[in-house]
Chains A and B, each alone.
Chain A
Amino acid sequence: DADVTQTPRNRITKTGKRIMLECSQTKGHDRMYWYRQDPGLGLRLIYYSFDVKDINKGEISDGYSVSRQAQAKFSLSLESAIPNQTALYFCATSEPGTGAQETQYFGPGTRLLVL
């Protein structure tokens, strides 16, 4: 079984709808992240959480919210989806530390299309 899972893997929604993307991990990591990836723009950080009680905005948090329900679960919500939120969304986890300990482990991604 995959260590970091994301649901759904693909989603088509309409402008104005609220949707939630879910991420679960079995790695026991405290740190979790949500990124979006767009062609030519690379990975951009939306939100991150260093533990269950810690939530931080990333560089592109507008239009998104998150919930850290447990150490293993980190959900991303689009309150009112708009077409420019069409992207590939990745969840990632990591441990605190130095060097290779800082490796981020990514989920398989969620492809979101907002019509």
Chain B
Amino acid sequence: RKEVEQDPGPFNVPEGATVAFNCTYSNSASQSFFWYRQDCRKEPKLLMSVYSSGNEDGRFTAQLNRASQYISLLIRDSKLSDSATYLCVVNIGYGGSQGNLIFGKGTKLSVKP
């Protein structure tokens, strides 16, 4: 089983739609969780951390379910500028050859006019 799994998509949605991505992780000792955004041919950038109680940043809401070991990202009122690949990232602590952050392969979102 992969450490961090995501549906690669693409998710093609119209402007204004609500879209949700899920991510599952295998290491139950994982300590912290993040969503990164990566635009085409650009570097990944932190979108938001994910807290146990759930957290919201404008149109973006992140949820963590430790019991089921999954993380979600909800985007409301999608904008054209939301088109990107969204990476689920899990911190497993000092993980030897894995380092400390494990990146999912990403979910591609395309928002259409």
Binding site for B on A (CB under 8 A): 33, 40-43, 45, 48, 56-59, 61, 88, 90, 98-100, 102-104, 106-109
How far apart are the CA atoms of A54 and B96 in the complex, in Å? 13
* Other 11 A-B pairs with CB < 8 A, given A103-B34, A104-B101: A40-B105, A42-B87, A43-B103, A56-B97, A58-B97, A59-B98, A99-B49, A103-B49, A106-B43, A106-B45, A108-B43
Are the C-beta atoms of B91 and A106 separated by less than 8 Å?
A: no
Q: Which residue of A lies closest to B43 (CB)?
A: A106
Return the CB mask of B42-66 against A: 1 if under 8 Å, else 0: 1111100101000000000000000
The verdict on B31 contacting chain A, using a C-beta distance below 8 Å, is: yes
The verdict on B32 contacting chain A, using a C-beta distance below 8 Å, is: yes
B31, B43, B98: the one within 8 Å of A98 (CB): B31
Q: How many pairs of A and B residues are in contact by the CB < 8 Å rule?
A: 56
Given A40-B105, A43-B103, also A59-B97 (CB < 8 A): yes
Chain A residues positioned under 8 Å from B45 (CB to CB): 106
Dominant SS among interface residues on chain A: mixed
Q: How far apart are A85's CB and chain B's nearest CB, in angstroms?
A: 18
Chain A residues positioned under 8 Å from B113 (CB to CB): none
Are the C-beta atoms of B99 and A41 separated by less than 8 Å?
A: no
Are the C-beta atoms of B31 and A103 separated by less than 8 Å?
A: no
Are the C-beta atoms of B32 and A48 separated by less than 8 Å?
A: no
A41, A99, A109: the one within 8 Å of B105 (CB): A41
The verdict on B100 contacting chain A, using a C-beta distance below 8 Å, is: yes
How far apart are the CA atoms of A41 and B51 in the complex, in Å? 27
A58, A90, A100, A106: the one within 8 Å of B98 (CB): A58
Are the C-beta atoms of A42 and B103 separated by less than 8 Å?
A: yes
Q: Which residue of B lies closest to A107 (CB)?
A: B43
Q: Which residue of B lies closest to A42 (CB)?
A: B105
Chain B 16-48 interface residues, beta-carbon cutoff 8 Å to A: 31-32, 34, 41-46
